[in-house]
Structure 1
């Protein structure tokens, strides 16, 4: 056995799997094959309103109970979702799309297809998680950049600084305060907004009510 294949099996033996499916021969096939693979597992039934927690993978029954439930989606859990479908129909396919499952097994269940589906669903879930992390990091960078640009405009308009001097000022303050430039920009914007609410504006005294 190659080292990469050995690591794959070691990984599968370390994960926790939940099987959300009604009692019977079909569930037994899934449970027994997961036992052969070496996964830690737990059986959950009746069908819960939300995905089980503390699991790496969830094999779940695609049923009418899922219809209209936003709780059973890939975005609502950190686990990989593997749908167990009784049959293919327009309703079932719609439910599968709604859950955004990482894998699907259709009856009749066979032990031969469970390992490959388990591996692929884990890989798919891991890829989506990394992609989401990159998206969130990019969104945070864009937000910080916009805050920085707004803060520079505030200093240019209120302090008469050039854009270059305004940025240098924020960078110096960030160094002395031991915070990021983005945090200094946030403080400047908060202060500016507070002053505007109090009636102050560039070059004007506070407004007075008669």
Structure 2
């Protein structure tokens, strides 16, 4: 067994799993298999109005109870969501899509298939979280760049500097103050806005 596969199985044995399903044979099958895998299981029923906290994986029943619970979406939790469905009509499929579940198990539940669904769902969830993290970093970088560009324009207009000189001035000040260029840009923008509020800002020519 290679290192990545061993790490995967070690991860499964430490998972905190919430199972949202009414009592019965179906839940017993699911619970037994999760115990065999080594997961730490917590049974939740009736259906909660909020996503359970302190859970790495949430198995949840797709049915009227889910619809009554309101918003229930993978975007609202870091946990892996695995849907449990006993029918495939348009209403159930719509609810399933709305949850953005990372995996689905349909009835009748069997011991075979639960492990593979869990593994694939965890992989899908992890991949999605990495993508979301990259998107957030890109959005922050774009926002910071626009912030700096705004400060550069203020310096260019107020002090008749070229774009390169305005940026170099902020970079130099950032180095001497031991802060980022973005923080210096904030100082420039805040000072400019304060002067405008005092009526001391430079009046633009029409």
TM-score w.r.t. length of structure 2: 0.94
8 Å Cα contact 1:21-1:61 kept in structure 2: yes
Give the unaligned 5+ runs of structure 1: 205-210
Cα-to-partner distance string for 1:85-122 (whole Å, 9 max, x where unaligned): 11111110000011000000011111101000100010
Alpha-carbon distance between aligned partners in 2 of 1:65 and 1:198, rounded to the nearest angstrom = 58
8 Å Cα contact 2:47-2:69 kept in structure 1: no
Give the aligned partner of residue 62 of structure 1: 62
Could you tell me how far 1:167 is from its partner in structure 2?
0.7
Going from structure 1 to structure 2, the CA distance change for 1:39 and 1:158 (only over 3 Å counts) comes to same
Give the aligned partner of residue 127 of structure 2: 127
Classify the secondary structure of the residue corresponding to 1:200.
Answer: coil
Going from structure 1 to structure 2, the CA distance change for 1:70 and 1:163 (only over 3 Å counts) comes to farther
8 Å Cα contact 1:51-1:71 kept in structure 2: no
Could you tell me how far 1:68 is from its partner in structure 2?
6.9
8 Å Cα contact 2:49-2:70 kept in structure 1: no
Classify the secondary structure of the residue corresponding to 2:132.
Answer: helix
- Higher deviation after alignment, 35-44 or 187-196: 187-196
Alpha-carbon distance between aligned partners in 1 of 2:161 and 2:77, rounded to the nearest angstrom = 49
CA RMSD after TM alignment: 1.5
Alpha-carbon distance between aligned partners in 2 of 1:133 and 1:100, rounded to the nearest angstrom = 17
Cα-to-partner distance string for 1:42-62 (whole Å, 9 max, x where unaligned): 101111011111111000011
* Paired residue total: 204
Alpha-carbon distance between aligned partners in 2 of 1:198 and 1:69, rounded to the nearest angstrom = 52
8 Å Cα contact 2:48-2:69 kept in structure 1: no
Give the unaligned 5+ runs of structure 2: none
Give the aligned partner of residue 76 of structure 2: 76
Counterparts of 1:106-185 in structure 2, within 5 Å, are: 106-185=106-185
TM-score w.r.t. length of structure 1: 0.92
